[in-house]
Structure 1
Amino acid sequence: MSYEVKVKRLPGCEDVRLPQKMSALASGFDLHAAVSEPVTLGPGERALIPTGIAIAMPGELEAQIRPRSGLALKHGITCLNTPGTIDADYRGEIKVLLVNLGQAPFTIERNERIAQMVFQLVPPVRLAEVADLDETERGSGGFGHTGTQ
């Protein structure tokens, strides 16, 4: 089964590449920067980078914005709030919150691949308030309670 996701190129972004998969079996669509001029992130700096697109997708989907591994490995560039969630009813421009965790300034150019967008199914969920929850072996243990690092 496939789902249609409509992509709208925003005014002034006619030259910005649409999201695309870079290989046949890739799960993510690469997103491109729609900056009007280069943006340089110094070490520790962050910026909200426009992509020049908006999308409309069926209610069964969400889009997750994730870092590109090559940018993270080579330059320390990653996304904050990862994965970022785009809900099916959002119609604004997709923007990517990038941060430079590297040790050197990094410049983002127009049309540079900056992140990837992965679509996920969102199951219908109904929350039910109860007085008690069933017990499990784990209980309320969290944040490293198993001793693994």
Structure 2
Amino acid sequence: MSVSPAIRLALLPHGEGLPLPAPHSPLAAGADLRAALPEGEPLELPPGGRAVVPCGFRMALPAGYEAQIRPRSGLAARHGVTVLNAPGTIDADYRGEVMAILVNLGEAAFRIERGERIAQMVVAPVVRPSFELGELDATQRDTGGFGSTGRG
């Protein structure tokens, strides 16, 4: 098993009192992110609506890593609430507040309360390829696009 990187966090005033990002089960890949909304001021996300929801902290990822902000499957399945730009990417040189862009694709309004688990964050290594021009080798699929490899 590889060594896990240490991620330094800085709490923002509106994030105080909320749990730090953490996996919800022992083998979970993602760390749950919570809504750092003001106490008693829930966010109502109407059907078709979207909102940038603060998570109440900033972080310093090590060079060579990114954080991906992903939907929570339970919110997507039960309410149609998902991360709009999934996965959202946080680069190692970003030092602003971590936030999740949520969208309600469901049929009913969805209420987000302070401290609610709204998304998950997966930290992953980044490969930075170099790009160069040249001839491409042919493959069986070649230029076949969407759906070109069949239905199943």
TM bin (shorter chain): over 0.9
Structure 2 partner of 1:125: 129
Q: 1:111 aligns with which of 115, 118, 137?
A: 115
> Distance between the aligned counterparts of 2:128 and 2:51, measured in 1?
34
Structure 2 partner of 1:81: 85
Q: 1:147 aligns with which of 143, 146, 150?
A: 150
Aligned length: 148
User: So what's the TM-score if we normalise by structure 2?
Assistant: 0.92
Deviations 1:67-114 (A, max 9, x none): 001111111111101011101111000110101111111100010000
> Distance between the aligned counterparts of 1:107 and 1:12, measured in 2?
19
Segment drifting more, 7-16 vs 102-111: 7-16
Q: CA deviation at 1:146?
A: 1.7
**Secondary structure of 2:78 counterpart:** helix
Deviations 1:18-66 (A, max 9, x none): 1011111110000000112210011111111000111111112110000
Percent identity, aligned pairs only, is 54
In 1, are the aligned partners of 2:66 and 2:89 still within 8 Å (CA)? yes
Structure 1 partner of 2:24: 22
Runs (4 or more) in structure 1 with deviation over 3 Å come to none
Q: CA deviation at 1:120?
A: 1.1
Structure 2 gaps of 5+ residues are none
**Secondary structure of 2:52 counterpart:** strand
Q: CA deviation at 1:12?
A: 2.9
Q: 1:6 aligns with which of 5, 8, 12?
A: 8
Q: CA deviation at 1:9?
A: 0.7
User: So what's the TM-score if we normalise by structure 1?
Assistant: 0.94
**Secondary structure of 2:97 counterpart:** coil
After superposition, the CA RMSD in angstroms is 1.2
**Secondary structure of 1:51 counterpart:** strand
Q: AA paired with 1:50?
A: P
Q: AA paired with 2:96?
A: G
In 1, are the aligned partners of 2:14 and 2:37 still within 8 Å (CA)? no
Segment drifting more, 101-110 vs 8-17: 8-17
Q: AA paired with 1:12?
A: H
